[in-house]
């Protein structure tokens, strides 16, 4: 035993330990320099971006904090792997383990990463803001919260929808401009189209006068379709945001009453009946 | 044989064994330090989170226990691979095996990991609680149990649905606020819209007086649609949670009786018949 | 030739062989220790779980045997790769081969692993038992067998469905509690709703008295919908499991006869006919 | 040149060649031992399985031959990579190549592996036999051939369907037991339900007496549904396998004639016509 | 400079060059031996297969040529990587490059490999032949060409469909046997079923006598369905391949004329009209 | 301690440090040369492309800046990994980490890369320009912004759609040429087809005279379909871009009035009524 | 410092530099030889292919240029990695980086590779030519451009569709032969089928005489279907390519006029009305 201990090359071990210690110190110094430089670079980028792109201060702060966190964690992770790497022998073993476990985790967690990447760009590109009315992933409602992992939407029926950001592909924002009100109204094949259009246009003009939320029109644009029993006339208008449904309801009522007043029929389904002697059956 | 044994460099083997032993001791010490530090860090994080975000104590305990378990298993796994790694030669062989088996396991088990990751965030973000009425993956019912791997929902017909968390994409929670009751009721094209709306609004106001669960409205909001044979009037109200269906049923009855009392018709499908001599057939 | 043989360093080869032999022995000893410890640990875990979670002895035995098998095979596999690894040169070649073949096998076999992982949790979480009536993957029937790879279900029409467990996502178990019987019945727009509800409720109460399998109700809950030609009344009840269809059939008959007896009409589709002179066609 | 040749360490090369030769011999010996042991183990496993699980001798032979082939090819593959590995330098190059080509082949061939894995279990678990009537992947027909890669089904219209086993997820076998015959028959709302059920049950009982393939029932189980113009009565029976359609056709004819004989109407669609003066249109 | 050149160990370089040259020669010899053995083995396998499985000589030649080409290219590829591998240093660099490029190519080209693998088995298992009428991937038509990458089908409307083999999952071949002709014909609820069946069977028997392509039947198998206004009678027959549509058309005409001759009605849709005084609307 | 420090081979460390420094300098020089050459090459390629393919200067600048950025970042990344690589020991550790983290990030970020690759080609191939009317991913509207990651489209109803470029598969651009106006108009089975076509063609010709945006036609091309109660005549025209809907509306009105003027009927649905004594029901 | 510089083994460095230089020269020579041989081989292959398969000179030139470019870039890439590889230390670092970045790029760019591979085969197998009328990915139109990445199709309505080649699975080319015109025309159940077929066949024969684009037929092939109120007669013809729609329109007009002239009815929907005293409702 003693012989074995003697035979151990203590000098070599000491040298090695010293080398390792020196390496650790060097790495830590480099680590803190890079960290400081990186954080300062990120902060400056965001403040510059904030100035240029006219993004609200609060949002920039959120993104900046996210970026700083990611940067710090990545750097820390690299630091750990480098320090682990100094003890030369064990890394390959880690890879072996990572081969089995990492695959499962990597696949399982990719959804999480995908959530965060998508969430980051939704924030950065200001695709949605809280209180906007949007449609994502087949669900529509008013945005309650835009998170990095989850977007929370409250539907008009009171349901709260939690949508992982990865499920947000195409995103439709209905709160960015005036909206279109569109009403299709039917008249009979027997009625005069020109007269009907004139009546409807007059009713629309009166409705527009009374109502501030109608921004443009409404215009009766013509014969949109030939139905089975009716000629379909289309009316469109531009309204203040979120007022399109109310305007549509008002226009429907106004136009129906105008047609009634002018004896123009909104036709029921029609059927021509032919009578045949029932010879066969 | 003896020569061979003599030729074995016993001193070298001893040295190596000693080195290995020293390494093992060092690794174990480091392992226990990291474990203690890590566990304490996790516990503190959760207690801090519990204070800040106002999460119930029980839920935090569940998440904390999960985190501690994962942390311990990961550390144990790293420890094992490091110890294995000290016996230098065999790791590559393990990789070779992992190449074949690990792939299959990794893919097969990714669903499991995906379940747990999703379950963790459902718990953390408090998307659902037991006894809430939710819709996930096309199934709706009342939450019976929120697990890390499986969420259990009881449908209104008594069926128990076991839903792996990975299948939970968008999650709709119907128990977080007042809900909307929505009733569409039809009147005839011949009826006066203003009168009908007045009658319906009066019936709704009376219903609201009698019923505490109606929180707001009901409002008759106007002409929602022109049907084939009917003008559709929409009524909406805000009700206490889970009372929306009962309110809708009450409103339907009340409005129907009000229309009857005022001789306003809920119209049957109409058809205009034209008669033609059957010359052709 | 002789020179070559002489030049071979027989001592070195001997030493190497000895080392290898010693390594093999050491590895085998470690292998058997780990195996014994692991098996004992698994057995204890399962007997503990059996006590705590109140799982039937047979099911625990199945899971225990599975776990022991997997543990033994994994350990055996590791042993083989370690032994292979002692012959240093050839492992990399194996990796090369595994690169091509392993990929194909890994992908091809992942379904198998996925089957077993899912099957394991179905057993462990007791999601289904033999003879329960369930719906999985769009197929419903009575469970005949719950295997690790395949679940066998017998449909009500006699078909035997073999369902690989990986295809089991959301799983609906219809045999865990009382079930709801739900009947929608129509009355005419001309009938009095209050009277109809009273008649129906009386018929339901009588049916409930006669029938033990009705556990709660039936309750006539009100006007569920306005149809084209009918007012839809909904009736719900709680029944013993698997008796919901029989109860629904009984309620339908009882309610139809009650309405007939009280001269309340279950209406045919209605149509209002208007006649117009066929001027146009 | 001569100097170069002289400088070549011929002794070393010879030693190396000798070592390689010795290695090759050792490897081949080990190979044949493992092969013999493995083949014998497989054969014994299958003969044991054949005894225990009562599987037909032919099927066991097929599976055994498959297993032996796979085992031999895998062993051969390992042998080749080991031999290749003895020439130390070139393996890494192979990996480089495999990186590009192997990926494409691995993905392209995974379908093939998936076919064979699925086919193996279909055979082993005896999910289908030749001449059974099954539904897989949306196709139904009679099994003509169960292969490891492809299952061949002949549809009732004469079409031969080749289905790669990987496309077989849930598999429905319609030839494992008696089948259910199910007939829905309508009576008028004006008819007496009790009388109709009595008439139908009598017709069914007579049909069952005449027909051996009806194994149980038919039972008239009650009012299944309220149609627009009809009350739907459901009749179910258990029949010999593959006779369900013939029984259904017979029951339909018998029940229709029974209803006719008792003046119970199978109703045409009904419509209530209301006439209104065409004031509006 | 001169000193540097002198210091170069020319002998060592020469030795190395010589070693490399010797290795190259050895590898080339081994290459040609394996190539010759492999090609001869493949040729023999195919000629054996041709004898055993009764496959046409042309098809075997195609498959043999494909197999020889693949074998040669794979061997050539291995040869190149081995030769590259002799220059020790650069392989790892190649892997680095392959990591980026290979992934993209591998994924991009996997479709190609998948095409060829599927095409190979379609040829080998003789699933389709030129001029057969098949349905694949939702497209049906007559096979024009079966290639390793693409299958060309000409639809009945003249369109030429190019279908990559990977898109061929389940494959339905309609040209392998007699086909079923199936005609559903309706009679009135007022008609006598027995008489109608007798009339139809007589018409079918006469049609079968006149027509050689009807191989079996036609059989009037009974009441297939109760329609809204009609009792549906099903007739099936076996016909020569591709003649099923012509036979169906002939049967339809013959049966319609037979029913007409016997005053059995093919009923128009029926409706029972009830008249109610329009009190409500 | 002192002994250990003495034993450290300071000369060796110095040599190593010097070597590393020299390497760093060499690498930096090479880096800047490649960077300069690469940037100049990219700039020239783009200016050449600009000349040849007639692409607007602004778009070329955008693409050039993108290319220069990517090139610089890739080069920088390579530089960093090379510099990191000079400190030999730690790279493998990085790989171990990358095995776990990189997989998750790689999968999570692939969507981002896919966005940019698709966006690059949409820009390069000039598939869309701002203000064009397009359909992508089931959404149609006018392009507001074509970015590398996201394409922004404004729907006609005012909704702003953010579409990640990866979701853009097939892209339909409706603003690249004259568009087709297509109107189907029905006439009665009793009307003379030739006369109707003549009347319609005359009305179309008059409409074309009045309207500049009609570029070709409209042509009455004939009987497109036999409807249940009508013969469908199709009219097509070529119009200025985005004017197709207005032209269609004008043509509909003109043709309806022309048919009215010529007493040609646009038929209502027809039905032949046969009356039967209600013997059965 | 001086000591350190002295201690640097300048001779060794010089030797190394010399070796590297020699290697570079050797590699470059090999590179140019392989490049010349490869390019000449590719050119010859294509000119041979051009002769054998009768492919137009322009198309061969396109494919040849593509192949030469790919070959040159691949070779260049290999050259660079080999040269990089000569500086031994840094490659592993590159792999580490590639592990993270390459994965994302590889997945992101695979679509691009897939586009080019598919495009190559579409060109090589001449599946489509400019100006042919095709259907791909649910879009039909006339081919405007066949590129390696994108296929451009102009729809009949003027829309330009850009379709990435990867989205082209099954490809339907409608411009490769005569096309089928298919018209279904209805006659009454009361009409004589033989007479109707004779009348229709005569009308078709006359139409065929007048019209050169009808290549075969039209044939009246018989009773295709029994409709609710009509017997459907099918007529098919072979026409010149792209003339099928015009022929169908002409046949429809001709056959309608022929039936009119012979007093054969194209029936309106029929309904048999039964009247019942409204006892129930």
Contacts of G127 in chain E (CB under 8 A): 150, 162
What pLDDT shows up at residue B8?
57
Interface touch E276/D273, C-beta < 8 Å: yes
Q: Nearest 10 degrees: CA dihedral of B17, B20, B24, B30?
A: 150
Contact F173 G162 (CB under 8 A): yes
Which residues of chain D have a CB within 8 Å of the CB of B268?
A: 274
Do C142 and C174 contact (CB within 8 A), yes or no? no
> How far apart, in Å, do the first and last CA atoms of chain B sit?
115
pLDDT over threshold 50, residue C89: no
pLDDT at residue G101 is higher than 70: no
User: How far from chain centre, in Å, is Cα F31?
Assistant: 37
Q: Is C272–E279 a contact, with Cβ atoms under 8 angstroms apart? A: no
pTM confidence score = 0.82
| Confidence class for position C147, pLDDT limits 50, 70, 90 | confident
Q: Cβ E180–D163 below 8 Å, yes or no?
A: no
Q: Report residue E279's pLDDT band, with 50, 70 and 90 as the boundaries.
A: very low
Q: How many CB pairs under 8 A join A and D?
A: 6
**Between C277 and E96, where is the model more confident?**
C277
At D252, is the pLDDT very low, low, confident or very high (cuts 50, 70, 90)?
Answer: very high
pLDDT beyond 70 at G129? yes
Average pLDDT across chain G, whole number: 81
| Residue G281 at interface with chain C, using a CB cutoff of 8 Å | yes
Looking at chain G, which subunits does it touch, using at least 3 CB pairs closer than 8 Å as the criterion? A, B, C, D, E, F
Residues E110, D91: C-beta atoms closer than 8 Å: no
pLDDT band at A239 (very low <50, low <70, confident <90, very high): very high
Choice between C84 and E231, residue whose per-residue pLDDT is larger: E231
Asked whether the beta carbons of C231 and C223 are under 8 A apart, the reply is yes
The phi and psi torsions of E17 (rounded to 5 degrees) equal: -60, -45
Distance of alpha carbon B57 from the chain centroid: 21
Are F279 and E189 in contact (CB < 8 Å)?
Answer: no
In angstroms, the CA F121 to CA F144 distance is 18
| pLDDT higher than threshold 90 for residue E217 | no
Q: Percent of chain E beyond pLDDT 70?
A: 79
pLDDT for E231: 92
Q: Which of G178, B166, B187, E88 is nearest to D91 (CA)?
A: E88
Nearest CA in chain A to C279: A190
CATH topology of domain A133-173: SH3 type barrels. (2.30.30)
Residues E257, G193: contact at Cβ < 8 Å?
yes
Give the residue from C126, C227, C213, C226 showing the smallest Cα distance to C171: C126
Residues with Cβ within 8 Å of residue F88, at least 6 apart in sequence = G89
Q: What is the reported pLDDT for B89?
A: 47
What pLDDT band is residue D279 in, cutting at 50, 70 and 90?
very low
Do the chains contact at G274 and E275, CB–CB below 8 Å? no
Going by C-alpha positions, the residue among B256, B213, B221 that lies closest to residue B238 is: B213
Interface C-G, measured as beta-carbon pairs within 8 A, has a size of 6
Which residue is closest to E270 within chain G, CA to CA?
G272
Q: Do E157 and G182 touch (CB under 8 A)?
A: yes
Query: What is the architecture, at CATH level 2, of domain G8-124?
Result: Orthogonal Bundle (1.10)
How confident is residue C280, by pLDDT bands cut at 50, 70 and 90?
A: very low
Query: DSSP string spanning C68-96?
Result: HHHHHHHHHHHHHHHHHHHSGGGHHHHHH
Q: Per the CB < 8 Å rule, is C170 touching B253?
A: no
Each residue's pLDDT tens digit, B105-118: 666 677 887 888 88
- Whose tokens are 């990435």? That residue is G164
Q: Hey, is the C-beta of B280 within 8 angstroms of any chain F C-beta?
A: yes
Please report which confidence band the pLDDT of residue G179 belongs to, taking 50, 70 and 90 as the band edges. very high
Enter the tokens of residue D122.
Answer: 């279909």
pLDDT at F100: 54
pLDDT higher at G248 or A212: G248
- The closest alpha carbon to B278, from A273, F266, F226, G192, belongs to A273
Best residue of F191, F192, F226, F270 to probe chain B, by most B CBs closer than 10 Å: F270
- Scan for tokens 């492809």, then name that residue: D150
Question: At a CB cut-off of 8 Å and minimum separation 6, what does E67 contact?
Answer: E42, E46
* Pairing label, strands F171-173, F133-136: antiparallel
CA of B221, closest CA in chain A: separation in Å?
A: 8
Low-confidence stretches of chain F (pLDDT beneath 50): 89, 279-281
Number of other residues whose CB lies within 10 A of the CB of residue E125:
17
Contact assignment for A268 to C278 by CB distance below 8 Å: no
Chain B interface mutation, best of F191, F192, F268, highest count of B Cβ atoms under 10 Å: F268
pLDDT in tens, D80-102: 766 766 655 455 555 555 555 56
User: Which residue, chain included where needed, has tokens 């022309």?
Assistant: F258
**Span B32-48, mean pLDDT?**
84
Summary mean pLDDT of chain C:
81
Number of cross-chain residue pairs from B and C with Cβ atoms under 8 Å apart: 211
* Burial label, E3 (beta-carbon count in 10 A; 0-12, 13-18, 19+): exposed
Residue G125 has pLDDT above 50, yes or no: yes
The pLDDT value recorded for residue F5 is 58
Please check whether residue C155 touches B, CB under 8 A: no
**How far from the centroid of its chain's Cα atoms is residue F128's Cα?**
6
Of the two residues A106 and A200, the one the predictor is more confident about is A200
* Residue E248 pLDDT: 93
| Average pLDDT of the segment spanning C52-67 | 68
C279 pLDDT band (50/70/90 cuts)? very low
User: C240 by DSSP, 3-state: which?
Assistant: coil
- With a CB-CB cutoff of 8 Å, which residues 250-279 of chain A face chain G? 274, 276, 278-279
DSSP one-letter string for chain G: -HHHHHHS-HHHHHHHHHHHHHHHHHHHHHHHHHHHHHHHHHHHHHHHHHHHHT--HHHHHHHHHHHHHHHHHHHHHHHHHHHHHHSGGGHHHHHHHHHHHHHHHHHHHHHHHHHHHHHHHHHHTT---TT-EEEETTEEEEEEEE-SSEEEEE-TTSPEEEEEGGG--SEEES-SS-EEEEEEEEE-TTS-HHHHHHHHHHHHHHHHHH-TTEEEEEEEEEEEEE-SS-EEEEEEEEESTT-HHHHHHHHHHHHHHHHHHTT---PPPEEEEEEE--S--
Q: Which two tokens stand for residue B199?
A: 């009658």
Partner B contacted by D281 (CB < 8 A): yes
Chain G partners within 8 Å of B281 (Cβ): 188, 265, 267-268
Between CA C267 and CA C259 the distance in angstroms is 11
CB pairs under 8 A between E and F: 7
Chain E: give the shortest CA distance to residue C75, in Å. Answer: 32
3-state secondary structure of D106: helix
ipTM > 0.85 (yes/no) = no
Distance from CA of D16 to the nearest CA of B (A): 21
F3 touches chain B (CB under 8 A): no
pLDDT value of residue F105: 65
- Confidence band, pLDDT 50/70/90 cuts, at residue A25: confident
What single-letter DSSP state applies at residue B88?
A: G
Cβ of D158 and E179 within 8 Å?
yes
| Closest-CA distance of chain B to residue E275, Å | 14
C-beta separation of B121 from B67 below 8 A: no
* Every domain of chain D and the residues it spans: 8-124, 133-173, 179-261
Per CATH, domain F179-261 is 3.30.70.100? yes
Report, as an integer, the average pLDDT of B38-52.
79
- Give the separation between CA F228 and CA G271, rounded to whole angstroms: 13
Q: Specify the higher pLDDT residue, E89 or E130.
A: E130
Inter-helix orientation angle D244-261/D193-210, to 10°:
130
Contact E179, E213 (CB under 8 A): no
pLDDT at E10 over 70: no
Residue D198, pLDDT > 70, answer yes
CA distance F116 to F121: 9
Mean pLDDT calculated for residue range B163-186: 91
Whole-angstrom distance, CA of residue G57 vs CA of residue C65? 70
Which residues of chain D from 95 to 114 reach within 8 Å of chain A, CB to CB? none
Q: Report the DSSP pairing between strands G171-173 and G160-164.
A: unpaired
Strands (E), chain C: 133-136, 139-146, 150-154, 160-164, 171-173, 179-187, 214-226, 231-239, 270-276
Look at D172 and C160 and tell me if their CB atoms are within 8 Å: yes
Kindly determine whether residue C267 and residue D271, on different chains, have CB atoms separated by under 8 Å. Answer: no
pLDDT tens for residues C98-118?
A: 555 566 666 667 788 788 888
b/e string for F70-79 if b means 16 or more Cβ within 10 A?
A: ebeeebeebb
Hey, of D99, D107, D268, which one would you mutate to test binding to chain G, going by the most G CBs within 10 A of its CB? Answer: D268
Q: Coil, strand or helix: which one is E160?
A: strand
Question: What percent of chain C is modeled with pLDDT above 90?
Answer: 32
What value does the mean pLDDT take over residues E53-60? 63
- What residues contact residue E28 under an 8 Å CB cut-off, 6+ apart? E79
Q: Distance between CA D162 and CA D151 in Å, rounded?
A: 6
pLDDT digits (tens, 9 = 90+) for G82-97: 676 665 545 555 555 5
- Interchain CB distance below 8 Å, B275 and A271: no
Residues of chain E with C-beta less than 8 angstroms from the C-beta of G19: 8
pLDDT, tens digit (0-9, with 9 covering 90-100), for B226-269: 988 899 999 999 999 999 999 999 999 999 999 999 989 898 89
From chain C, the residues in CB contact with E274 under 8 A are 268
pLDDT of residue D126: 84
Per-residue pLDDT at F279? 47
E7-124 architecture in CATH?
Orthogonal Bundle (1.10)
Q: Which CATH number fits domain B9-124: 1.10.1050.10, 1.10.287.1260, 3.10.180.10, 3.10.450.50?
A: 1.10.287.1260
For residue E280, the 8-state DSSP code is -
For residue B201, pLDDT over 80 is answered with yes
- Dihedral sign, CA of F59, F60, F63, F68? negative
pLDDT band at G183 (very low <50, low <70, confident <90, very high): very high
On the CB side of F162, CA atoms within 13 Å amount to: 24
Residues β-bridged to residue D233: D185, D223
> CA-CA distance, A245 to A249, in Å (whole number)?
6
Q: Please report the pLDDT score of residue B254 as a whole number.
A: 92
> Given a contact as 3+ CB pairs under 8 Å, which chains touch E?
A, B, C, D, F, G
Chain C neighbours, 3+ Cβ pairs < 8 A: A, B, D, E, F, G
């Amino acid at each position: 035993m003693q012989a074995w201990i003697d035979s151990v090359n203590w000098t070599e071990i000491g040298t090695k330990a010293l080398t390792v210690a020196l390496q650790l110190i060097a790495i830590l110094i480099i680590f803190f320099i890079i960290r400081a430089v990186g954080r300062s670079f990120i902060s400056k980028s965001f403040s510059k971006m904030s100035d240029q792109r006219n993004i609200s201060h609060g949002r920039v702060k959120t993104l900046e904090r996210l970026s700083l966190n990611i940067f710090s964690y990545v750097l820390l992770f690299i630091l750990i792997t480098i320090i682990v790497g100094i003890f030369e022998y064990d890394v390959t073993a880690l890879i072996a383990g990572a081969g089995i476990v990492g695959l499962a985790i990597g696949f399982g967690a990719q959804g999480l990463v995908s959530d965060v990447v998508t969430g980051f760009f939704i924030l950065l590109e200001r695709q949605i803001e809280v209180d906007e009315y949007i449609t994502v992933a087949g669900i529509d409602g008013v945005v309650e919260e835009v998170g990095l992992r989850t977007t929370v939407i409250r539907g008009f029926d009171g349901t709260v929808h939690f949508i992982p950001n990865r499920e947000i592909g195409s995103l439709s924002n209905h709160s960015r401009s005036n909206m279109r009100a569109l009403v299709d109204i039917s008249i009979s094949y027997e009625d005069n189209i020109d007269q009907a259009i004139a009546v409807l246009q007059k009713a629309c003009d009166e409705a527009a006068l009374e109502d501030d939320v109608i921004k443009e029109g409404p215009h009766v644009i013509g014969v949109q379709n030939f139905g089975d029993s009716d000629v379909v006339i289309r009316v469109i208008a531009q309204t203040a945001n979120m007022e399109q449904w109310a305007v549509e309801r008002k226009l429907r009522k106004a136009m129906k009453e105008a047609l009634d007043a002018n004896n123009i029929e909104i036709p029921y389904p029609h059927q021509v009946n032919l009578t045949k002697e029932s010879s066969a059956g």
